[in-house]
């Protein structure tokens, strides 16, 4: 079991800086998810932890030991790749046992460990097959099995489920969650998928352009995003950003409004918001509710588009000042395009950002 | 696209087979010519060449030409020498060149890009231009053998083998093939604790069936057809390969029947090699299925 700690970690490929000073503390047994847009450096960071890319600057500690210059095999890690990377010329059994075979583990012990891993992953019946005879989900299981048998202190996953279809992805997601509970090992998991991030993570690290935007528990990030990027990145549909004028600021509360928004007081949460300045009001679509009676902070507009999903109705509203917001109502509703609509929200569920909060 | 009616498809199939049969015939005719004529006395052979009879087992057939060929030259020795030199070179070459390519593709060392370009540049140098300098070199090279230190490699097997082991083309073949293998396989093996040698031995080589077969065939052809090099470095009959041996049959009177018999004999190892490899080749493709 091991803590993982990154201090001022940087990576350059030639002149291209890809990771630009990253500090992350990962506790023993924690499930940490790296999320971020494509190309932000998630895989690179994970590969640096694995030892597949060397570290240009900064220190990486695993289990209290600096491992910058330690070979991958001596870092106590196991890695599961997006493309599975199982060896096509070996049977499932040989694949799972590969690391043990290399280490020269005695036959009996090896068989025992492979059997135990196969039991955990429910793939005992697949052991004598070849990878070409497996489905995508089964291949991923083999890759995970190969990681489990070596009993690593840290598991690294690089988008392990992205090649699977939606249903299978959900099954495997639950299984990985269970696996984490069962093994109690530290896990670092890279994904594009918000649901995976929100459900699996003890801690989410949001990355952008090789920098950490925010790190914290999923709910912390969801309810208290540190900046506009994190606010917009987590949650689906993503948060509405409404450009507003600040009428007054008093005691941590700012009175904001615009042509389509009736005045409302929202907490500034310590951000640099001053009377007379522009600010950005963030409200998640789920917190916008249709209101027939005038209310504080009412948004006025016309329905432009409705998507009925059954349990939920997603509505696009063109506001009177020309901007648009998305609202998600937790019920089935019929709203014809062109319908006048007023949307209200609880200011405690709204976020106010200064222009400077754009990373 | 034009509709694929059953009739239309039938015609296509017929045309395809016709073309394939034609190509097969083009390749088979010389072999047939050689084999049939090796059974005929020279006078009949010369008379038959003007007609289709040259390809048919007709007239006065016997194995006399074979008997005479063995009388004229140590055919067994020549074939043995060629098979030995070719076999050793092919195996050593696949090993050395694949190792070289492995280090070019998977290991990180300074200057590998430049060195690889230099090796690839050697592909355009014809052997004839370096034959004489090479001869001068090998004639002075030392060797530690059973009789202690010797100087000069002339009249040996090693002089026919060692200069031919490493070559740019084979390295290039392996480099191209290795580059197309998914790099995650190597990375996964590394993370699992495999040394570079184990990566080569347990991951890369088992997946290299197709390129090993290709490399082996190309090398085999080069080695089995060696003529100029053994001609200048081997004067002793006991080390001569088959192509140099062909000279024994082109004396004042060319005995064409014997030539055909000799050619038939020296073709046998080629066919055996090719058939063996073809099976291995197909098996390796079928079993690995490199596709993810
Ligand atoms: N070997 C390399 N040489 C040069 N640049 C590289 C190399 N590997 C990655 N990069 C660059 O580093 C950046 C980050 O890449 P990385 O693969 O870490 O992104 P990612 O966050 O994993 O993206 P994705 O979500 O698409 O997988 C990209 O801009 C990429 O082009
Ligand atoms: Mg990636």
A292/A317 same-domain check: yes
Chain B's closest residue to A148, CA to CA, is: B192
Chain A touched by B212 (CB under 8 Å): no
- Structure tokens that stand for B213 in this block: 């077969």
A52/A154 same-domain check: yes
A199/A331 same-domain check: no
β A313-319/A253-258 pair status: unpaired
A171/A252 same-domain check: no
CATH classification at residue B201: 1.10.3720.10
Domain boundary residue among A202, A233, A264? A233
Distance from CA of B190 to the nearest CA of A (A): 7
Distance from CA of B198 to the nearest CA of A (A): 8
A251/A174 same-domain check: no
State chain A's mean pLDDT as an integer. Answer: 92
Task: Using an 8 Å CB-CB cutoff, list chain B residues near A88.
Answer: 207, 288-292
The residue range of the domain holding B98 is 83-245+278-287
Domain count, chain A: 2
Beta strands in chain B (DSSP E): 142-145, 148-151
- Structure tokens that stand for B28 in this block: 């088979």
pTM above 0.90, yes or no: no
Distance from CA of B177 to the nearest CA of A (A): 16
Please answer yes or no on whether A84 and B289 come within 8 Å at the CB atom: no
Is residue B52 assigned to a domain? no
Question: Exposure of A185 by Cβ count < 10 A (0-12 exposed, 13-18 middle, 19+ buried)?
Answer: buried
Of residues B192, B194, B289, nearest to A132 (C-beta): B289
pLDDT band at B286 (very low <50, low <70, confident <90, very high): low
A248/A202 same-domain check: no
Rounded distance between C-alpha atoms, residue A59 and residue A81, angstroms: 24
Chain B's closest residue to A135, CA to CA, is: B292
Domain count, chain B: 1
Domain boundary residue among A209, A233, A257? A233
Please answer yes or no on whether B191 and A103 come within 8 Å at the CB atom: no
Least confident of A104-113, B10-19, B45-54, B134-143: B45-54
A39/A62 same-domain check: yes
CATH classification at residue A71: 3.40.50.300
**Cβ-contact B199, B65 below 8 angstroms:** no
pLDDT at residue A328 tops 80 = yes
A204/A146 same-domain check: yes
A44/A141 same-domain check: yes
pLDDT per residue as tens digits for the range B150-160: 888 999 999 99
Task: Using an 8 Å CB-CB cutoff, list chain B residues near A150.
Answer: 192-193
pLDDT at B289: 45
Task: Look up the ipTM and state it.
Answer: 0.84
A169/A22 same-domain check: yes
Other CB atoms within 10 Å distance of the CB of residue B54: 18
Task: Using an 8 Å CB-CB cutoff, list chain A residues near B108.
Answer: none
pLDDT per residue as tens digits for the range B66-123: 999 999 999 999 999 999 999 999 999 999 999 999 999 999 899 999 999 999 999 9
pLDDT per residue as tens digits for the range A175-200: 899 999 999 999 999 998 888 999 99
A283/A161 same-domain check: no
Domain boundary residue among A233, A261, A288? A233
A198/A257 same-domain check: no
Residue minimizing CA distance to atom 16 of ligand 1? A41
Q: Taking residues B39-46, what's their average pLDDT?
A: 88
Of residues B189, B192, B290, nearest to A88 (C-beta): B290
Is residue B200 assigned to a domain? yes
Is residue B66 assigned to a domain? no
The residue range of the domain holding A320 is 240-357
pLDDT band at B1 (very low <50, low <70, confident <90, very high): very low
| Dihedrals phi, psi of A317, to nearest 5 degrees | -120, 125
Please answer yes or no on whether A81 and B187 come within 8 Å at the CB atom: yes
pLDDT at B204: 96
């Amino acid at each position: 079991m091991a803590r993982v700690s990154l201090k001022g970690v940087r990576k350059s490929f030639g002149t291209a800086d890809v990771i630009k000073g990253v500090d992350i503390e990962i506790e023993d047994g924690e499930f940490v998810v790296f999320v971020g847009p494509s190309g932000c450096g998630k895989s690179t960071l994970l590969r640096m932890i694995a030892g597949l890319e060397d570290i240009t600057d900064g220190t990486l500690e695993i289990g209290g030991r600096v491992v910058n210059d330690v070979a991958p095999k001596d870092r106590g890690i196991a890695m599961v790749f997006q493309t599975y990377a199982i060896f096509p010329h070996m049977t499932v059994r040989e694949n799972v046992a590969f690391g043990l075979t290399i280490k020269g583990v005695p036959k009996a012990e090896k068989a025992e460990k492979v059997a135990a891993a196969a039991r955990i992953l429910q793939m005992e019946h697949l052991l004598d097959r070849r990878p070409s005879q497996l489905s995508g989900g089964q291949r991923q299981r083999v890759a995970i099995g190969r990681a489990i048998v070596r009993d690593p202190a840290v598991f690294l996953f690089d988008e392990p489920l992205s090649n699977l279809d939606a249903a299978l992805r959900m099954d495997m997601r639950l299984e990985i969650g269970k696996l984490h509970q069962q093994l109690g090992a530290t896990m670092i998991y890279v994904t594009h998928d918000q649901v995976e991030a929100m459900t699996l993570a003890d801690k989410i690290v949001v990355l952008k352009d090789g920098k950490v935007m925010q790190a914290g528990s999923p709910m912390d990030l969801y309810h208290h995003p540190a900046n506009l990027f994190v606010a917009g990145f987590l949650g689906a549909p993503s948060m509405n950003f409404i450009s507003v004028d600040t009428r007054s600021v008093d005691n941590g509360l700012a009175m904001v409004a615009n042509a389509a928004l009736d005045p409302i007081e929202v907490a500034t949460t310590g951000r640099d918001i001053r009377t007379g300045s522009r600010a950005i009001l963030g409200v998640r679509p789920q917190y916008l509710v249709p209101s027939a009676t005038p209310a504080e902070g009412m948004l006025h507009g016309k329905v432009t588009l409705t998507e009925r999903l059954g349990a939920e109705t997603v509505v696009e509203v063109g506001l009177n000042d020309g901007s648009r917001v998305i609202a998600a109502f937790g019920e089935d509703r019929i709203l014809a395009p062109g319908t006048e609509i007023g949307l209200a929200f609880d200011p405690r569920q709204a976020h106010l950002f200064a222009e400077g909060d754009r990373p | 696209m034009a509709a694929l009616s059953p009739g239309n498809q039938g015609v296509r199939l017929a045309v395809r087979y016709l073309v394939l049969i034609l190509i097969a015939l083009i390749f088979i005719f010389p072999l047939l010519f050689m084999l049939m004529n090796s059974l005929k006395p020279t006078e009949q052979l010369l008379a038959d060449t003007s007609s289709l009879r040259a390809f048919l087992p007709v007239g006065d057939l016997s194995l006399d030409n074979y008997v005479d060929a063995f009388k004229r030259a140590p055919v067994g020795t020549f074939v043995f020498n060629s098979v030995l030199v070719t076999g050793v070179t092919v195996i050593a070459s696949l090993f050395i060149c694949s190792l070289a390519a492995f280090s070019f593709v998977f290991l990180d060392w300074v200057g590998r890009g430049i060195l690889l370009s230099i090796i690839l540049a050697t592909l355009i140098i014809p052997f004839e231009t370096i034959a004489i300098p090479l001869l001068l070199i090998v004639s002075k090279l030392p060797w530690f053998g059973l009789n202690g230190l010797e100087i000069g490699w002339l009249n040996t097997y090693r002089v026919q083998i060692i200069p031919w082991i490493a070559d740019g083309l084979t390295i290039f073949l392996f480099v191209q093939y290795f580059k197309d293998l998914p790099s995650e396989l190597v990375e996964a093996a590394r993370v699992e604790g495999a040394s570079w040698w184990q990566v080569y031995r347990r991951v890369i080589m088992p997946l290299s069936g197709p390129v090993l077969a290709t490399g082996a065939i190309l090398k085999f052809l080069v080695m089995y057809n060696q003529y100029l090099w053994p001609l200048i470095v081997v004067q002793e009959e006991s080390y001569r390969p088959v192509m140099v041996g062909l000279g024994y049959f082109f004396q004042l009177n060319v005995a064409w029947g014997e030539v055909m018999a000799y050619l038939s004999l020296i073709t046998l190892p080629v066919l055996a090699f090719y058939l063996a490899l073809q099976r291995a080749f197909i098996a390796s493709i079928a079993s690995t299925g490199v596709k993810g």
